[in-house]
Structure 1
């Protein structure tokens, strides 16, 4: 892979008269409705009234900032070591600004109620798709296997690519039309749902694109010379995401009182002789105790929370350098498409992140505060899909529709109907059915937490 191709300014839609509108990816993103909606989508705690706790918006801003810092670090290290001539002939901004923008939109396809919302959508299709019919035919007998797997494998990453390329923006049907370098960077898993199930030699965990975005994905892959591999910057974006949410989840959980300072310290002080990096990692984790003692001596009002905040800032800098150094260490394999791991594998930062992950699973992600709102969110999504999907199946067809089905479709935003008509023009009846199903999936997954709750209560309570 070559950086001249990887950082190409190419867009999938070109119109010379309107090119100035898409000249700057950053401006396009931050001025968009989809980006603003992230302020009311959960990061960890859905429907939370505490404005201290992070949302998808504040998380995305943090990932963006961390990603840019990693990019800066890597750029100057590679330039200094003269590992690739491209870095001697170009500016740091050309490299790190891609991560700045990719960080802003990496979660833009996530549904309401956090990752639990993804599970709820997948679960609904797995349980209910087989019971839906169009006329005398079952929907599962009309859709291709690939199209069905898209629904069973619903994933925020694939949805991000879909929304950014298909959502009407500024009155134009070609979506945000972001540069390929940004779109390529956010594709964490360069695999379709069909290949995930039947042909997955690299053992990817999730899908990266839907059948509906196959043509776009293939053009990105070909134009950038990826040969089916991940974009190198996707590894740096992944690291930035891990750094942001692993450290911030501890801080937010302390504010929500679902984890205590003593529980965090207990996990950091465990003796894990079977892990070779543990003793060295404990030195960095021991910094938290040192900071805590400083806060006690300073007679701070909230020494435990302040200590976590200070330690988070400290450890993020350590992790940024670890991620950058790993990228440089594996540079040859990454650029040849032969690297299948993560940048934090077998590292001190990876050891710290693994400890935080286990701590989070034990105390944060299974807390009653989080679980109660997630179960409510599951009911909301399940009810909305049950209400809207049958109406979408017969929408804009010659099949007879009931009064309720007509009124149900009337409540769907024209925004998504326009998106459907634009995308389905000239397509087969089979593909139109698939796109009508996606129309409702887009509609519901695009809702904010509070809008989904409001609509649920209006319709069912």
Structure 2
């Protein structure tokens, strides 16, 4: 349990920032880097639950991430003031008060920075597309896959596409200026971001390997973080302890706020939410107090106060489990989400309610299918053009893609000129296409698809 390693403030590349007159520590500098990142700004028009929504009262990926950041910061403050945590780690509050809470702010703000347009369904569209692409060459539009040379692991990066792995690529490579280090964040922040420190086979029995959380293109960066944060146990990579708190902040927000979004949509009322929670004694007592609220606006007042209460309860559960299972977490032996390790099953109840009353709604599913058509269409266009035997099509397709993404792929492979694009390995050509499409906002993806398909010209 080496917290000096967990809170490692060194970077992938030695920092060149001017420190004279700058009172920020390295983790606070990380926050500045991510808050000003174009990838962070683009989350304002990416789906949280409701694709292409014009309702400003409904969460986008950015407002969700800001709320996760607030919860993560609160979790960090509670942990550094917890006497048992300080005793177990032999740390002093004054030494970590500007470290742990800030690292959690950073990791929470960017936890979804790699999510494609149209939310988690967009991830499924990309993964399913490549599953067909690599395994069904008989379809006319997939004939190109016969000419593409990738290893088994490289193919799996696309067939197991995940926003977490794409986010890691965004942070470490794609926010590129003149080198291949991306935002060049600290090892501590990157370690806390890594929900799935896994570039190999998926094993759903364990949290750390539940998904492909790192692509082959960033496997070398993962190794550096593992070494510098001491995240290796035997032959396995283990999670950074703070990744458990980042995960908890995310789960708390999407469980509670998705319910509030559905309420704001008018899909159910306070009494419907109340019914599922009255079996938990502490929540039942709170609801009894809330039921005394009456008058104009009482329904929404009760819902907001219930939301505040539920977040508070889930935060308490997360901190309790983090501190009391700290040894197992640091040894890589604890294998539960913090908020799910609860005898009352509060998170399970909320998760089931969302699964039944929010996600199946026709409004969401219809727009997700619109997202399917858009993402599939964009992949069709760019794969056909980038791998075309005609240099005229290749040139035009390359000209449509963000220059910084092409520059990042060239840097990764030791090339210096844009004209070297054709010399990139097939894996990186596909990587650039997916980098471009996954970085799009919902509206940009829609408009770009309409232009390429001839549905609109301006």
Q: TM-score, normalised by structure 2?
A: 0.89
Residues 86-125 of structure 1: pairs in structure 2 closer than 5 A: 86-87=91-92, 90-125=95-130
State the distance in 1 between where 2:202 and 2:85 align. 39
1:144 is matched with which residue? 151
> Which of the numbers 437, 444, 447 marks the counterpart of 2:430?
437
Mapping 1:60-459, distance limit 5 Å = 60-78=65-83, 82-87=87-92, 90-130=95-135, 131=137, 132=142, 138-139=147-148, 142-169=149-176, 172-192=179-199, 194-196=200-202, 204-227=209-232, 228-269=237-278, 279=279, 281-294=280-293, 296=294, 299-301=295-297, 303-347=298-342, 351-393=345-387, 400-401=389-390, 403-425=392-414, 432-459=425-452
Q: Is the 8 A contact 2:73 2:104 kept in 1?
A: yes
Find the aligned partners of 2:221 and 2:85 in 1 and give their Cα distance: 36
Q: Is this contact kept in 2: 1:166–1:175, CA < 8 A?
A: yes
Distance 1:254 1:89, change over 3 A: closer
* Other structure's SS at 2:209 match: coil
1:32 aligns with 2:28: no
* Structure 1, unpaired ranges of 5+: 270-278, 395-399
Cα distance per residue 1:197-222 (max 9 Å; x no partner): 6x976683212101000000001001
Query: How far has the Cα of 1:17 moved from its partner?
Result: 6.8
CA distance in 1 between partners of 2:307 and 2:122 (Å): 28
1:54 and 2:28 are equivalent in the alignment: no
- Shift of the 172–215 alpha-carbon distance from structure 1 to 2, 3 Å rule, reads closer
- Structure 1 Cα separation of the partners of residues 94 and 63 of structure 2: 34
Whole-Å separation in 1 of the counterparts to 2:291 and 2:126: 43
Distance 2:251 2:156 in 1: 27
Deviation at 1:46?
A: 1.0
Q: Is the 8 A contact 1:41 1:114 kept in 2?
A: yes
1:311-333, Cα deviation, whole Å (9 max, x unpaired) = 11122112111111111110111
How far, CA to CA, are the matches of 1:81 and 1:168 in structure 2?
36
How many angstroms does 1:85 deviate by? 1.1
Unpaired runs of 5+ in structure 2?
none
Match of 2:5 in 1: 5
Q: Deviations over 1:91-122 (max 9, x none)?
A: 32211110011111110000000100000000
**After alignment, is 359-368 or 83-92 more displaced?**
83-92
TM-score relative to the length of structure 1:
0.88
Deviations 1:413-449 (A, max 9, x none): 2222222212222699997210110100000000001
Report the CA distance shift for 1:286/1:121 in structure 2 as closer, same or farther (over 3 A).
farther
Mean CA deviation greater in 108-117 or 334-343? 334-343
Kindly state the Cα deviation for residue 343 of structure 1 after the two structures are TM-superposed. Answer: 1.2
Compute the displacement of 1:171 (Å).
5.3
Q: CA shift at 1:81, angstroms?
A: 5.8
Q: CA deviation at 1:78?
A: 3.8
CA distance in 1, matches of 2:99, 2:282: 36
What are the Cα deviations for residues 142-200 of structure 1, in whole angstroms up to 9, with x where unaligned?
211100011000001111110101113455542111111111111111212x3216x97
Q: 1:368–1:133: structure 2 CA closer, same or farther, 3 Å change rule?
A: closer
Q: Quick one: distance in 2 between partners of 1:81 and 1:87?
A: 6
In structure 2, distance between residues paired with 1:367 and 1:237: 29
